[in-house]
Structure 1
Amino acid sequence: MPTTAHRRRPELAAFLRSRRARVTPADVGMPPGLRRRTPGLRREEVAQLSGVGVTWYTWLEQGRPINASPQVLDAVARTLRLDTPEREHLYRLAEVPYAAAPERLSRSVGAEVQGIIDALDPLPAVVYTSRYDVLATNPAYRDLFLVPETVRIGVPNVLWTLFTVSEEACPVVHRERELPVMVATLRSSYGRHVGEPAWEEFIRALSGASAYFARLWESGAVARPGPRVKTFRHEAVGELRMTSQSLSIDGMPESRIVVYTPEDERTREQVALLRRRRQRLWPVSDDEAAEIIHEWNTKNPAP
């Protein structure tokens, strides 16, 4: 049976030929030349413009089992005018680890995404960035998490809330189990943003505000987001067991929709009760909650 590498090499060869065929000499400032049988570049022209040997590039395009460095693949990608998805595809076919350039975190959501999470009510739903910034919420999420103490903090970031509110106001039960996982998940995302001022300031400020966060951060633990069963507390209905599930969002790098689903019938009834008592329980309206998020994101622009 052919190996994965054997299957990828023919695909790599076909991909390079198709990308080469769409780039004309005029696109790269070269004269068209005589007796050109195709409108695209010749192999030797791609090699010359990329600063690699003609034989090496020919072997690469023929799908031979040769090694390629990220620097060389980047040069070929520039010559062939590959966009970001095409560049990543080239790397994968060549079996070279792909390191995407850091992208700006989103600071808002469009009406379509807001409409999706609103339609999930009575399931609590929220849009988080990889730094746990809150970009959008639905009414059910605010029923469960938007307690008066978190509103007074005025920072729509889940980690900031959980580490700085009083233990009595913290909605997460088993903090000693859940918060280390969240910090480890944050560190996994931080690896793509090391040295960026906004991230470094966030870590510094939260470490200063919470000695517990500082200790967890110094531990160096790393984890990735995944579904978990969590227990939350609410002063009106008691403890609720919810399963959290993350969904990616096209066009919003490092952002995700997190939906909380009742784990049992009792919790489902409690969520329904919160919905019925929504207007009476919380003095913060939907518009006021959205304004809190907007004001914070305006004052704290992405890097």
Structure 2
Amino acid sequence: MSCRGRFAPSPSGPLHFGSLVAAVGSWLCARHTGGQWLLRMEDLDPPREVPGAAANILATLDAFGMRADAPVLYQSQRRAAYDAAFAVLRVDDHVFPCWCSRSDLAATHGLHRDGRCVTPPTTDRPPAWRLRAPDIDVAFEDAVQGAYRQNLREDVGDFVIRRAKGIYAYQLACVVDDAFQGITEVVRGNDLLDATPRQIWLQRLLGLPTLRYRHLPLALDAQGSKLSKSDGACPVDAARPLPALRRALGFLGVPASDAEQPAELLAHALAHFDPARLPRGAGRHVT
């Protein structure tokens, strides 16, 4: 069956190699089935957004030969959809206001497990809103990493879905937008594996379909650290896409070629791509 995949970067800096791996992996998995590949810009958090980063990321993907099958979805324009989902959770009593600070939760290692706020309400600042985490195991079969199970209450606790400043958290926005875009399979980095049970639980509460998931190993530097924008990872060069594209394909275990254009290189990779041969494990060193 064909799938509908997506790549959803945040505009907190230019595209770096770790994100390129996720983009290429999601593109290959969608195209391998004859399906569609979409883009979503996760620009929910203005303080973290770098001016011009969204346009830069889109231009870089275009230079690398990856073009979406629909207009880009911007989360900054989706407030009404998140409000509607939040209203459903509130009516069904799945969420509660919380004034707890990090210091309040220090004794429980930052986890909130009470299903209600244990800090007296205050008018000095608005509350965050948390989703009650039940004492249940959420399990799923990741197509790359295998079986994964997480107890929501013990491993995660009551988690924030709307911050005190009114910004919706990634978990809620991701679930709402995946359903809106008709996504059937999510291919992304292994750093989001432990977020998946929370998203599956939200899908159940909101009556949304549960997706297929593939979590790729993270790209690691020589010291074993994840390559990320927050750590100053070098951006890929849109003016010279072939070297980074070949490295990304090699990282994913896909044969490359001596093609001289990104589109040709991707076409060759797609013809030899087998999702069952994607590398497993938490991370891999970039060579």
TM-score, length-normalised on structure 2? 0.22
> Greater CA radius of gyration, 1 or 2?
1
More strand by share: 2
More helix by share: 1
Structure with higher RCO (Cα < 8 A, 6+ apart): 2
